[in-house]
Structure 1
Amino acid sequence: MKVPDYPENEDVRVATLRSLSILDTEPEERFDRLARIAKRLFGVPIALVSLVDMNRQWFKSCQGLAVTEMSRDISFCGHAILGNDIFMIADTLEDERFYDNPLVLNEPRIRFYAGVPLVVPNGIKVGTLCLIDREPRILSDEDRELLRDLGQMAAQELSSVQLATIDELTQISNRRGFSALAHHALNLCKRMNKPASLFFFDLDFFKEINDRYGHAEGDNALVNFSKILKESFRESDVVGRLGGDEFVALLTNANQTETQLILNRLEQVLKDFNSKQTDRGYDIVYSVGMVEFDPSRHHSINDLLVEGDRLMYAQKREKRSKEVISS
């Protein structure tokens, strides 16, 4: 039996899922209806809306199965979230990854599986809409398209939960979304004794950009900086906009060398961006406060934010002092 691998962004993926506050909640008609539709349209005995937690898969809707969760180690959905499209096993007994899986040998005796990943607005795959049959089968191209459509509908229902945590302008996490994700990520780091660091960014001369070029250009600067951050940091890092021109990034499971490499990449990406935008009239420049997570001093994400904010302003004041001296 093949145990499913973990995605590279597993810390953020689990934090995103848990920030939805949907695990272990009561059944909801909107999800049950989609699972019933899938079960009926495809003529399968089992259809699930499955959410893949750290060590389990939990079913928000479970049509045709009497249990509400299973171990992730033996799950098919744990494999499905590793890809971007439908994960299909036409006949489990012919597949070396699954022929001796307990879910194949015992109830529900899976012979066919097809699961489409459920992707929320920040691009994270939190689970699947999946079909299970006790007989081997293959989905046609038309069937696959229908399953994708149903999966997108299920993802939209999950997204409605998450939308309140996304910054409308930059499409990255807002303060509420960042705090929820970072809270879970820090708890994971504590439990697994992994390092974490917070970076508190503030754009320099942002008021001048708004005053000289207008608020639309100021918005462009914010959007561009959010893209620069997403390109520079890893998928496993939590990036957010707190408001105005303040941005944050939480690095998890990165030692000092890896952290420095990420900062070097950020500087290079920003340098390349500024050099290619010579007709814009200004460069994007930032100040940053960097804080290493210390469980003995930082009891919450807010403690990290307060210290990062203080260090960022200290750097900004130092820059201004040097500008005054040089002038």
Structure 2
Amino acid sequence: MSDISTFYPTDEERRLSALHALDLLDSEPEKAFDALVGLAAQRFDCPVSLITLVDRDRQWIKAKVGIECTQTGRDVAFCDYAIRGDDAFVVTDAANDPRFADNPLVAGQVGIRFYAGAPIRVSDAYGTHAIGALCIVDTKPRTLCAAQIAALMHMASIAEALIAARGTALEAVSIAESAQRQSRVLRRQERVFGQAERLAKIGSWRLELASQTLDWSDGMYRIHELDRGARPDLTAALDFYPPRDRAIASDALARTIETGEAFDIELDFVTARGRRRRMRASGELEIEQGRPAAVAGVFQDISDSYHVERKLRRSASTDEVTQIANRAEFNRVLKAALRDARGGSPLVLLLIDLDDFKATNDTFGHLAGDDVLRAVGQRLNAPFLKDSFAARLGGDEFALLLTDPELVADAPAVIAQLLEQLGAPVELSEVLLPVSGTIGSASPGPSVDTFRELMHAADMALYAAKRARRGTAQPFASPTAMAV
């Protein structure tokens, strides 16, 4: 490959300075970044997803899924191209791209064929700098639509927010810890600390063990939406948490006092104005003259990032049309249910095909077809199917997992009731759209123990039901059982 130094951005030194100031290079793995690349891999169904940082002569990997290496030379890094533009950098087939065909990551054992990376930027006094990229990689050629490229850019924006929050939080925590040890430093830096608290949505606290006196910084009052004059005691402070989280907080505090072990937990709590928020709380023991004197720590309101992460996870596991689980989530849940079944938990798998669904699309249009799919999704969540797990596998194929002991024990009656509900027409404006489903069912057994075997058994039962008469159901009968 050619010498990439001729292509370095004109502000390369400032870019490197901004990168090194973050103290991210060669840092330990962090849950938020690992979660983001995991979600990116799920969202785009790619085997490899990375968050990279492009140093002077190397590319270092901050978070990764599907790959073991931690760094590469910058001269072979695809992400070095991604940081040079404002938009996502996409290579649909690297083997046929003259820029990358001879790249050892393409021609060698790794065998990269597809790459898409969105630049991650940070700002300092000199401007905005691209320090790395959030990217997805595959060993086969692929393309991305405009919506997928936009989603990748949005995920890179989340990475930028995580980096910014990380830097601000580290700075704020450092200030808070220093302030707790040195009251004179606290007075000199009080204004800076308050600004950092507001920016990072954090607050510091200290519990004096002898007197049980609780001291809060301004940030704590702001987070709890309390007037500065209110001075809650420990019991009143814990009352902000729902019962389950209150017990978690109390146990963590007691364990720190007893063992000296610091805690770092996430909790739900409700502000004085009744708003539900998500909080990260950390605390550590202060020792004076060999005895526990206080517990001090930091709170951070992480509601925004928490909800973004949950939304991303839901998006990655939910079918867009029906708003029930998608195929990937179904695979995960069925594998877990099979593990439970090996320990004796009940399980019946239902595979459901809608009958003549193509005719509905052809006659009434795809929007009407989507209405039918949504109606089926709702029927698979009917109250009589309590605690059952419904998923759309694709097209007109659905699945339902029965795990409730009563439902499993009475599976034939449950399936009959479900067939009746599936056969009810779907009302669209003044038109009744016909709909019905055919069901094949199977349960784990001596010859049906794995994911593949259970799916195959239910599929065989479904095929038998279709062959007999559409709109009916058949349970799987093993060859052994039929022979008997």
TM-score normalised per structure 1:
0.55
1:287 alignment partner, one of 429, 438, 441 = 438
Question: Match of 2:330, SS?
Answer: helix
Distance 2:203 2:322 in 1: 42
Structure showing greater relative contact order (alpha-carbon pairs closer than 8 Å, 6 or more residues apart) = 1
* Residues 196, 252 of structure 1: 8 Å contact kept: yes
Amino acid in structure 2 at the alignment position of 1:171: Q
Q: Match for residue 103 of structure 1?
A: 252
Closer, same or farther: CA 227–103 of 1 in aligned 2, 3 Å: same
Amino acid in structure 2 at the alignment position of 1:308: A
Q: Match for residue 49 of structure 2?
A: none
Distance 2:239 2:328 in 1: 46
Instruction: Give deviations 1:122-160, integer Å, cap 9, x for gaps.
Output: xxxxxx653357999xxxxxx9xx95xx42422322543
Q: Match for residue 332 of structure 2?
A: 180
* Residues 44, 132 of structure 1: 8 Å contact kept: no
Unmatched tracts of structure 1, length 5 or more:
1-18, 47-87, 118-127, 137-142, 323-327
Q: Match for residue 463 of structure 2?
A: 313
Closer, same or farther: CA 92–281 of 1 in aligned 2, 3 Å: closer
Unmatched tracts of structure 2, length 5 or more:
1-37, 43-60, 64-158, 174-196, 207-233, 270-277, 285-293, 473-484
Question: Match of 2:469, SS?
Answer: helix
Distance 2:471 2:404 in 1: 35
Amino acid in structure 2 at the alignment position of 1:188: D
State whether structure 2 residue 300 is matched by structure 1 residue 300. Answer: no
Closer, same or farther: CA 33–309 of 1 in aligned 2, 3 Å: farther
State whether structure 2 residue 414 is matched by structure 1 residue 254. Answer: no
Amino acid in structure 2 at the alignment position of 1:239: A
Question: Match of 1:202, SS?
Answer: strand
Closer, same or farther: CA 175–93 of 1 in aligned 2, 3 Å: closer
Question: Match of 1:239, SS?
Answer: strand
Amino acid in structure 1 at the alignment position of 2:459: D
Q: Match for residue 396 of structure 2?
A: 245
Structure with higher Rg: it is 2
Cα RMSD after superposing both structures: 4.7
Distance 1:184 1:171 in 2: 21
1:195 alignment partner, one of 324, 342, 346 = 346
* Residues 422, 435 of structure 2: 8 Å contact kept: yes
State whether structure 2 residue 193 is matched by structure 1 residue 42. Answer: no
Query: 1:320, CA displacement in angstroms?
Result: 5.3
State whether structure 2 residue 322 is matched by structure 1 residue 170. Answer: yes
Question: Match of 2:320, SS?
Answer: coil
Query: 1:266, CA displacement in angstroms?
Result: 3.4
Distance 2:460 2:202 in 1: 57
Query: 1:253, CA displacement in angstroms?
Result: 4.3
Closer, same or farther: CA 194–31 of 1 in aligned 2, 3 Å: farther
Question: Match of 1:169, SS?
Answer: coil
Question: Match of 2:378, SS?
Answer: helix
Quick one: percent identity of the two aligned structures?
Answer: 23
Instruction: Give deviations 1:48-101, integer Å, cap 9, x for gaps.
Output: xxxxxxxxxxxxxxxxxxxxxxxxxxxxxxxxxxxxxxxx97445999974995
Query: 1:311, CA displacement in angstroms?
Result: 1.0
Closer, same or farther: CA 310–169 of 1 in aligned 2, 3 Å: same
Query: 1:185, CA displacement in angstroms?
Result: 2.3
Closer, same or farther: CA 217–278 of 1 in aligned 2, 3 Å: closer
Query: 1:275, CA displacement in angstroms?
Result: 7.9
Closer, same or farther: CA 214–311 of 1 in aligned 2, 3 Å: same
Amino acid in structure 2 at the alignment position of 1:311: A
Structure with more strand by fraction: 2
Amino acid in structure 2 at the alignment position of 1:167: D
Query: 1:168, CA displacement in angstroms?
Result: 2.3
Amino acid in structure 2 at the alignment position of 1:195: P
* Residues 436, 471 of structure 2: 8 Å contact kept: no
Query: 1:202, CA displacement in angstroms?
Result: 0.6
Question: Match of 1:168, SS?
Answer: coil
2:379 alignment partner, one of 228, 234, 243 = 228
* Residues 189, 252 of structure 1: 8 Å contact kept: no
Instruction: Give deviations 1:176-233, integer Å, cap 9, x for gaps.
Output: 2211221122213323x21111000011121221121122211211121112112356
Closer, same or farther: CA 312–100 of 1 in aligned 2, 3 Å: closer
Q: Is the deviation greater in 223-232 or in 275-284?
A: 275-284
Distance 1:159 1:321 in 2: 36
Query: 1:102, CA displacement in angstroms?
Result: 4.2
Query: 1:305, CA displacement in angstroms?
Result: 1.6
Closer, same or farther: CA 262–107 of 1 in aligned 2, 3 Å: farther
Equivalent pairs counted in the alignment come to 237
Paired residues for 1:1-327 under 5 Å: 40=197, 41-44=201-204, 90-92=236-238, 98=247, 102-107=251-256, 115-116=267-268, 129-131=279-281, 147=301, 150-161=302-313, 163-191=315-343, 193-232=344-383, 236-255=387-406, 256-257=408-409, 259=411, 262-263=414-415, 266=418, 269-270=421-422, 274=425, 279-294=430-445, 296-319=446-469
Query: 1:312, CA displacement in angstroms?
Result: 1.4
TM-score normalised per structure 2:
0.39
Distance 2:471 2:411 in 1: 28
Question: Match of 1:281, SS?
Answer: strand
Q: Match for residue 73 of structure 2?
A: none
